[in-house]
Amino acid sequence: MRDVAVVGATMLKFGRYPDKDVVTLASEAAIGALKDATCSIKDVEIVVSGNLYQSNAMIGQRIMKEIGATGVPVVNVANACATGSTAFREAWMAVASGAYDVAMAIGSEQMGKMGLLGADGASREYSTEGVMGTGLMPGVFGQAGVEHMRKYGTTQEQFAKVAVKNHKHSVNNPYAQYQIETPLEDVLNARPIAWPNTLYMCCPTGDGAAAAVLMSAEKAKQFTQKPIWVAASVLTSDPYTPRNPTMFDINTVTRIAAKEAYEKAGIGPEDLSQVELHDCFATAELLHYENLQLCGEGEAGRMIDEGATYVGGKIPVNASGGLLSKGHPLGATGVANIVEIVWHLRGEAGARQVEGSKVGLAHVIGLGSACTINILKK
Amino acid sequence: MTQEAATAAEKKPNPIVPFMKLPEKYPDEPAYLWGVVCKSCNAKYLGARTACGNCGSTGPFEKTRFGDEGEIYSFAVVHQTVPGLEAPYVAAIVDLDDGVSVRANVYGLDISKPGPEWFGKRVKMFTEKVRVDREGNDIIAAKFKVTDGK
């Protein structure tokens, strides 16, 4: 595989855009990334579009009709919440393999007012929801957190501290859907959604788009003095474990991805300057501290207690405010996590800048399950 | 067929999931969960399999009837749910004594006080009509109740 650089990266502020359609949002992000890369759509040799709800409707081609239909290959990708990061990885593979020199990954989603659950009513007669357990995400990630409680004595308060941290970080991120601090008491007293997760411990749905332009090393030299290198780009699916899929196993799929990513990047977790991980729910973040080897088994609760994952701490996690604050427009999320890391590595992250960031890890998980880990470095 | 058109003779209770069996004489004979065991690696599954998700073997699989008792492995208390459902409810992962796990609503717990004391609670399956389908058939779900100390 060849070295691949991220040369252009941008995202729109996540939120609600009732006056724009999803193609417009995606096009704005794509044009932003092209401008950032100082190249044009005519330089792009392949486009990978990540969008969960529109991938069956040729959204990638619709974007190209908006920004420049050059006739290049367009691939539409869907991989649950890992849709955008899977699109990024496909773009990376296109360049790393030597098949193309310039690729663009676009992640987009418009969820509108689908509501917190992103789910419709119990319209299917044979739906098991609420009569044989739950498949809704707040409950599923609640169960995953409760399993951690069972194993290690983790408390609801420790999970709530994740929300406190990420919402505090978000105050410095103008791209976040919500930029509101939530003290611990407010988090614990907020409306329960699926115990142990309260409202402020759940990511909001919304609209958004993000895009990245990737180039071979030789091509990148023509366009930038500050390439950000993809040290590892890994995608896994969930291997067999006895309770899965009755209880989705979000841990194993991340662990095997982390192991492979560290090996491919030739680094260890101790070499990371920062992490953007998939905190779709506050419970998930603590599990991923261990899954990503940021701490030892059973130490995640202590890690948040000690504040080690705040910006300024030992290993800043979700300096962006995370999905909890930034929002989670499914197809856009994975690309946006990478954009955030790119901005920090370039020193362009404004008030939330992780000082001297050299190596960053972006982790995304999609249930059912997929995990992507992208390690980027200066 | 509309609900009105279905005659009593044509109606029959249907399990909500394919891995639940309602005997001919249900409810006089109790419903049960069933599945298969991979003869190559001993992995156990709810319902039928095309091949083994663990070892990839295409068989043989041994069909098995699972017992109706087990314990709570993990859970969440769902407060916000889809329209048309009552909440809150305890959405648990129940480990059956026979070695498979099942998603289940669990009853008999103080829902206002979730906590570690719920881990390992002994539970027993019961069945309940939860809805009627468009052909007028009763839809039957498997639920669990806590049996600790009883």
Select which of A328, A344, A363, A371 is catalytic: A328
User: What per-residue confidence (pLDDT) applies to B1?
Assistant: 47
Average of per-residue pLDDT values in chain A = 96
Taking the Cβ of residue A144 and every Cβ of chain B, the question of whether any pair is shorter than 8 Å is answered with yes
Taking the Cβ of residue A121 and every Cβ of chain B, the question of whether any pair is shorter than 8 Å is answered with yes
pTM of structure: 0.95
Please state, in angstroms and rounded to a whole number, the distance separating the CA atoms of residues A171 and A55: 33
Taking the Cβ of residue A193 and every Cβ of chain B, the question of whether any pair is shorter than 8 Å is answered with yes
Buried-state track B129-142, b at ≥16 Cβ within 10 A, e below 16: ebbbeeebbbbbbb
User: What per-residue confidence (pLDDT) applies to A116?
Assistant: 57
B4: confidence class by pLDDT, cuts 50, 70, 90:
low
pLDDT in tens, A235-278: 999 999 999 989 999 999 999 999 999 999 999 999 999 999 99
User: What per-residue confidence (pLDDT) applies to A124?
Assistant: 77
Of all residues in chain B, the percent with pLDDT exceeding 70 is 93
Question: Which of A131, A191, A200 is the best substitution to test chain B (most B C-beta atoms within 10 A)?
Answer: A131
**Cβ contacts of residue B53 below 8 Å, gap of 6+?**
A240, B43, B45
For chain B, the structural domain boundaries read 14-146
Q: Is the dihedral of CA A139, A144, A145, A147 positive or negative?
A: positive
pLDDT in tens, A31-52: 999 999 999 999 999 999 999 9
The pLDDT of residue A98 is above 90? yes
A167 is catalytic: no
Identity of residue A126 = Y
* Beta bridge partners of residue B146, listed in sequence order: B123
Please state, in angstroms and rounded to a whole number, the distance separating the CA atoms of residues B72 and A247: 12
Q: In this complex, which of B54, B74, B133 lies closest to A143 when CB atoms are compared?
A: B74
A278 is catalytic: no
User: What per-residue confidence (pLDDT) applies to A119?
Assistant: 58
Q: Kindly state the average pLDDT of the residues B62-85.
A: 96
User: What per-residue confidence (pLDDT) applies to A249?
Assistant: 96
Domains of chain A, earliest start first: 4-114+204-377 (3.40.47.10)
Shortest Cα distance from B150 to chain A (angstroms)? 23
B9: confidence class by pLDDT, cuts 50, 70, 90:
low
Q: Which residues of A touch B134 (CB under 8 A)?
A: 125
The pLDDT of residue A10 is above 90? yes
